[in-house]
A and B are shown apart, each in its own frame.
Chain A
Amino acid sequence: MMIAFLFILPAIINFTVFRYIPIAASVRASFYEYSLLRGLRDFIGLDHYSRMLSDATFWQSLQVTSLFVLYKVPIQIVLSLALAVLLQRETIGAGVVRSAILTPMVTSIIVGSIIWAMMYHSQLGLIQSFLNAVGLPRQAFLSDASRALPAVTVMMIWKDLGFSFIILLAGLKAIPQTYYEAALVDGANAWEAFRRVTIPLLMPVLMFVVVTQAVFSFQVFVPVYQMTRGGPLDSTKVLVYYIYQQGFRFQDMGYASALSVVALIIMVIISYLLMRWLRPQT
């Protein structure tokens, strides 16, 4: 029996040291003055948490993050479902399109952010060339406070679409063909069959994709770091970027820890609510 335990021991050590202890350590650090240079200092109780309540940038970052999730997730899910339906049959070229959709997904998010930031460039970006081709003047994207967040969102949909696409495609292929035939015999047209057969049977998969995408998207960091540094005018300052800034730019690990703890709690609540809200419809 002890020999059996040796098989799982390395994994247990890993999860204890690198997953559980960090959370415990950040809960502890959130009650202290803590900087990277000077280490753990005075115990200050809930001061970091009360500071958060009056920290306008924190509330701004929550709002930006929510907006990002609310723009991105529905658009991405609808587009990937449409593409999965379009590409589920083995027509000529479907395989090539599927590979094309998956390519951004296997590429790193930093490369995606770098290249899109260059494409969005207000003078020399490739998108200016497309605008020019359809007769539109040059536009600023990442340096315009009203356009920066949508621009980042488009890039992230481009990057993440492959993930929801593969999962929905696998879900579609798992629906037995006989259900469609039965619906068509009942006189349903393609749209009705889609609504009455595909959507209900796909619901568990859709739920999985919505929840995971919402949770992933809530943690967006890299494109903001690379493309906008939270600007202009904090219009893209998402929560994880703000945490990074507090911890590593302003050297305030205590406050960054408190923010991490709050972010963790928010995300647990979001996943719980989403799962409860989506389940009754299955």
Chain B
Amino acid sequence: MAVAEQHRGAAFTGSTQAESATMVKLRRGGITILRGILFTVISLFFLIPFIWMIFGSLRRETEIFQYLYPLGWHTFFPIEWTLEHYRDIFGMSAEGQRAGLNFGRNLMNSFIVSAGVVVSSLVFNTMGAYFFARLKFPRKNWLLAFVLVTLFVPFEVTMVPLYIVVRYLNLQNTYWSMIVPWFASPFVIFALIQYFRDIPYELDEAALLDGASYLHILRTVIVPLAIPGLVTVSLLEFQFIWNLFYWPLIAVQNQDIQVLQVVISSQTTQEQTFWGRTFAGSALASVPVILIFLALQRYYVRGVASTGIKG
């Protein structure tokens, strides 16, 4: 691009130079405006569902429908703000109680399950990645193959088979059923191996000569140096588990321990949709992850780009 502009610039000489400068300025201005419009349209396409959802959760249902036509400011923006839908889904209003809603509890379940998975996954995947990156073991490559082949096991297709096993272990309808299958992850082990390999070998070899145990080296040498990598994988793992739907849907029938993602879906049925409550529940289920993502976007982008993990 830059080279082409230089060529073009060199073609203009003498008296035409002043003219061409304004032309170039005008063209640049035009391109900037066009780009601004394009950027706005693209951003709106991706964000409008969220804008509609968040503002929709803060206004009465009648208002949502009343201002649908013509398209305008109030199609999105509330005239009269209200928290009634949030009171409903938290079971703080008479109507919410009558419908048996207690999304606060489900939100807590989501946090329990996500925290359980992120913590256990940090412990066990770190140990596993340390094994592959540093420790000596006969036929280690076979074990690595055993782990990495599971990367290619399609996820949703194995939900029915997984349910058969979890039921056999009598874990269905428990928190365990939502945590235990994910305490180790081939994606996370694979990503952490890359991070650990970047740490200089001299550091842990020296510690080993001093008689430190593997566990001690892992805790005092490897983990402190791999913090950015650990943040990245924890973030991806949290997002993955927080957003899980199909597995908790089939593994857990008890609404008291069900996660938020599943109970929000029950507010829209074939027969009836509770628009306000659905907006409020969806906002509750998505805003925490979006905020965490915006705060830690750098780690997130690096993680996806380097490992290809999808949430």
Query: Which of A49-57, A144-152, A215-223 has 4 or more CB atoms under 8 Å from chain B?
Result: A215-223
Chain A residues lying within 8 Å of B268, measured Cβ to Cβ, are 114, 117-118, 226
Chain B residues lying within 8 Å of A167, measured Cβ to Cβ, are 304-305, 308
State A114–B294 Cα separation when bound (angstroms).
22
Chain A residues lying within 8 Å of B4, measured Cβ to Cβ, are 184, 189-190
Closest residue of chain A to B71, judged by CB? A133
Interface residues on B, range: 35 or more
State A158–B25 Cα separation when bound (angstroms).
36
Chain A residues lying within 8 Å of B53, measured Cβ to Cβ, are 111, 115
State A85–B169 Cα separation when bound (angstroms).
50
State A153–B130 Cα separation when bound (angstroms).
41
State A263–B243 Cα separation when bound (angstroms).
24
Closest residue of chain A to B53, judged by CB? A115
A58 interface residue, CB < 8 Å from B? no
Q: Does A102 lie within 8 Å of B297, measured CB to CB? A: yes
Q: Does B158 lie within 8 Å of A19, measured CB to CB? A: yes
Q: Does A185 lie within 8 Å of B310, measured CB to CB? A: no
Residue from A86, A166, A185 having most chain B Cβ neighbours under 10 A: A166
B73 interface residue, CB < 8 Å from A? no
State A167–B242 Cα separation when bound (angstroms).
22
CB distance from B55 to the nearest CB of A (A): 11
Chain A residues lying within 8 Å of B50, measured Cβ to Cβ, are 103, 107, 115
Count residues on chain A whose CB falls below 8 Å from chain B CBs. Answer: 97
Q: Determine which of A7, A18, A103 lies in contact with B165 in the assembled complex, contact meaning CB atoms within 8 Å.
A: A18
Chain A positions 166-208 with a Cβ under 8 Å from a chain B Cβ: 166-167, 169-170, 181, 184-185, 189-190, 208
Q: Does A257 lie within 8 Å of B310, measured CB to CB? A: no
Closest residue of chain B to A27, judged by CB? B161
Chain A residues lying within 8 Å of B311, measured Cβ to Cβ, are 105-106
State A22–B152 Cα separation when bound (angstroms).
14
Chain B positions 102-146 with a Cβ under 8 Å from a chain A Cβ: 124-125, 127-128, 130-132, 135-138, 143, 146
Chain B residues lying within 8 Å of A36, measured Cβ to Cβ, are 167
Q: Determine which of B36, B46, B143, B285 lies in contact with A103 in the assembled complex, contact meaning CB atoms within 8 Å.
A: B46
Chain B contacts to A: CB under 8 angstroms:
1, 3-4, 32, 35-36, 38-39, 42-43, 45-50, 52-53, 64-65, 68-71, 75, 124-125, 127-128, 130-132, 135-138, 143, 146-147, 150, 152-165, 167-169, 180-181, 183-184, 186, 189, 213-214, 239, 242-246, 249-250, 261-262, 264-265, 268, 270, 273, 275, 278, 282, 285-286, 289-290, 293-294, 297, 300-301, 304-306, 308, 310-311
Beyond A132-B69, A184-B1, 9 additional contacts (C-beta under 8 Å) are A1-B136, A11-B125, A99-B297, A103-B46, A103-B50, A106-B289, A107-B243, A108-B242, A264-B158
